Structure 1
């Protein structure tokens, strides 16, 4: 083991760390020196979106110490910008340790004199974005690793508009986090009175916002019996998606029982990602058994959504992210126009990796379409820039993410599920399906084909390979 790594290991063994942590380090030292080296060879990087990594002991892992140090750095920057008279909102998903990480985050913020609104239990990530705006917070954190495997957790940092950090704040927060060199610099407790628990009232406010996105509530009422199959894939979607569908008036919602209970082990899937066919397979089987109209699945923090529909042969097909996005963009443009609520300054935003077919649809309908870099924080940044001048209606990315309306500033699987079901109801009202609509769009605008290639590199060796490739 390299001397620099061994020095870090000994600092943890000799330092003010808890006994369980030290015992785990000694166990790795004896049983898996390679894993121990990977856990300490670098500090877990606080990137532009926050932290994400394997859970465990060490400087390169998600644990209470790395979370506490990151929060101290973020708190220092918030105080620099706003003084101590500011507040943050904190949420978490269903993963192992997520609640503990959220509570540690809350305690550190409060110990720094910052007011904290902490959700009472797990919640979808988009509700955190909504809460920041609703409560007038200056920042926020959600403890989640989104759709990554069960061994991972993460820490997403948000700014006062409910979006993830963008320049200059991302670099400034990173700088402050990197200044924290020791757990002794962290204010771990002392401000408990500044922590306020939130829950049901915020849920209702969020669901009311989602309901306002509906363009054709009368069609949802007429097609209330639309046969919907939904899976939360053991995640936070179960907290709000069924209620959102109820708000839209849908009465025939079938939850995939095997995947309905929040569980950080994600026992029925390899990857809890609705982009993966395997993840949607149980829901697909249920949809076939029930002869459903539409299948939907969200990832653990309910910011992504995957859908399945029947083709013209009656066979079930899972749509890719580009297909789902172009259907949603087209609906928000076309239906608003048909309903007479379109505005001359309407705009849509997509990322550069998302199908160019959306640009063509928008142009044909006299709607401005902007392309931004990958990530919803860039969509949100442009919304902020255009506020008061142009009217944002929808944004999206091929990675199964949609952001409908401007009341939140991150991708939202909850509202996306509701609107996608409204879209299915709209087509069913005409005796058609979303697959029929997709084919119509290809006929009208041309067939666009795309492919996604994912390359995964793990651990210390993987990081070196990526550095070499780049």
Structure 2
């Protein structure tokens, strides 16, 4: 073709046209060329999709700068190469999960095939599951690593790849940079072992769901309160994502009997047809849930993003209007409740700690000081909270933690933000407030009255 691109873009396009890529890929690429889709071609081929220290994320499609079987394959081959170099002569196990996005099941199978082709045993969820359950599963099964195919709350055009280490957290130093180096060392798709070994691929069953849900039940501080407030009206939306698989079940097991799921958003769908962005931080994504709450006069609204690691919530103000809580408010509320009831129950011994990112509200530091609990501040990224938990394991007890970007964790069975466990805890603290004759809005006000108001702003 006549060149209209810079040298790198042209080289990549030529390579994909002439190389050992499948016919569908080549046909799609040729169609873009024939239609003179120059902008799309440039963006798809001007560089290679970057595999960073937490994995990779990008738009799906044909090209070196897109999520597809070849870029996902190269990432997985590099990951497998590192595992085999890092853990020689070991029987390596990897767990894999995926969200509701388009192509997620296909990408997951590609990853399973490549790991197994590299003599790595694979434990695969048969259907979509929340990201935090993958973190739990890595730990529960004693895996050396794990990965999730997800782009979290990004638009429908995107997908992504998150890499995990043996403790269930996203990879940190030195493994993160070493994996990146191995991925970048893949120079040709001929190096990728796409032909899987089925004997090394195992499908997980409901037992892993039961084990994960059991840990969520152990987080419950006051089951007797839930018994009294079992009719608490909860509206839940999974926003077409993985939350539908376990959040309603978790709430039911805790004893909540009035959970209304937003039916229009209950079916997993990678096109996210009812929202612009599947992000529970955005009011637009919460509209259907808020409408349902008004309809049934609910006590609480909660919604999870597609891979169920973040949760958004709304409370009803004294004027009757529903207001969204931001990440700082909810992180503070969860920890306020945990600290308060743990102190009343005599569970605070002076060896407990909380962890949060440095950009998360200082109100949490203030509350921890009041209750005699250490608060550790970490770099931005939940993997650094997980790193603190790992370093203090056996020395201090982790109560909970969070970040302002709507990610929270209760207890240490999981090592990533967990919207399933968070939904359960938010429901419990709302039941506690109601048991005290308070709304969740009132409970929020009580927290501020006891600890002062904190002004928040976002600068970007």
- Bucket of the pairwise TM-score, normalised by the shorter protein: over 0.9
Select 2:335's aligned residue among 322, 329, 333. Answer: 329
Residue correspondence of structure 1 range 44-59 to structure 2 within 5 A = 44-59=49-64
Tell me the distance in 2 between the aligned counterparts of 1:367 and 1:24.
Answer: 58
Select 2:398's aligned residue among 389, 392, 400. Answer: 392
Select 1:2's aligned residue among 1, 6, 12. Answer: 6
Tell me the distance in 1 between the aligned counterparts of 2:420 and 2:78.
Answer: 31
**1:428 alignment counterpart:** 434
Classify the secondary structure of the residue corresponding to 2:333.
helix
Select 2:290's aligned residue among 284, 292, 304. Answer: 284
- Quick check: 1:343–1:391 contact (8 Å CA) kept in 2? no
**Residues 1:24 and 2:28 are matched in the alignment:** yes
- Quick check: 2:115–2:196 contact (8 Å CA) kept in 1? no
Classify the secondary structure of the residue corresponding to 2:25.
helix
Tell me the distance in 1 between the aligned counterparts of 2:23 and 2:382.
Answer: 41
**2:314 alignment counterpart:** 308
Classify the secondary structure of the residue corresponding to 1:240.
helix
Q: C-alpha offsets along residues 90-130 of structure 1, whole Å, 9 cap, x if unaligned?
A: 00000000000000000000000000000010000000000
Residue correspondence of structure 1 range 175-324 to structure 2 within 5 A = 175-324=181-330
**1:414 alignment counterpart:** 420
Offset at 1:341?
A: 2.0
Select 2:43's aligned residue among 34, 38, 41. Answer: 38
Q: 1:190 to 1:442 in 2, by over 3 A?
A: closer
Over aligned residue pairs, what C-alpha RMSD do you find? 0.9
Classify the secondary structure of the residue corresponding to 1:99.
helix
Offset at 1:29?
A: 1.6
Tell me the distance in 2 between the aligned counterparts of 1:453 and 1:284.
Answer: 28
Q: C-alpha offsets along residues 131-166 of structure 1, whole Å, 9 cap, x if unaligned?
A: 000000000010000000000000000000000010
Higher mean displacement: 186-195 or 65-74: 186-195
Residue correspondence of structure 1 range 354-373 to structure 2 within 5 A = 354-373=360-379
TM-score scaled by length of structure 1: 0.95
Tell me the distance in 2 between the aligned counterparts of 1:349 and 1:190.
Answer: 41
Select 2:102's aligned residue among 93, 96, 112. Answer: 96
**1:350 alignment counterpart:** 356
**2:74 alignment counterpart:** 69
Tell me the distance in 2 between the aligned counterparts of 1:451 and 1:92.
Answer: 34
Offset at 1:28?
A: 1.6
Q: C-alpha offsets along residues 424-466 of structure 1, whole Å, 9 cap, x if unaligned?
A: 0000001101211111222221111212356xxxxxxxxxxxx
Q: C-alpha offsets along residues 37-73 of structure 1, whole Å, 9 cap, x if unaligned?
A: 1101111000011010000011100000000110000
Offset at 1:314?
A: 2.2
**2:85 alignment counterpart:** 80
Offset at 1:191?
A: 1.6
**2:130 alignment counterpart:** 124
Q: C-alpha offsets along residues 223-243 of structure 1, whole Å, 9 cap, x if unaligned?
A: 001000000000000000000
**2:18 alignment counterpart:** 14
TM-score scaled by length of structure 2: 0.98
Q: C-alpha offsets along residues 320-364 of structure 1, whole Å, 9 cap, x if unaligned?
A: 111101000111111111122223201000001100010000001
**1:153 alignment counterpart:** 159
Tell me the distance in 2 between the aligned counterparts of 1:342 and 1:246.
Answer: 29
Offset at 1:400?
A: 0.5
Classify the secondary structure of the residue corresponding to 1:230.
strand
Tell me the distance in 2 between the aligned counterparts of 1:191 and 1:258.
Answer: 39
- Quick check: 2:170–2:416 contact (8 Å CA) kept in 1? yes
Q: How many residues align?
A: 454
- Quick check: 2:99–2:129 contact (8 Å CA) kept in 1? yes
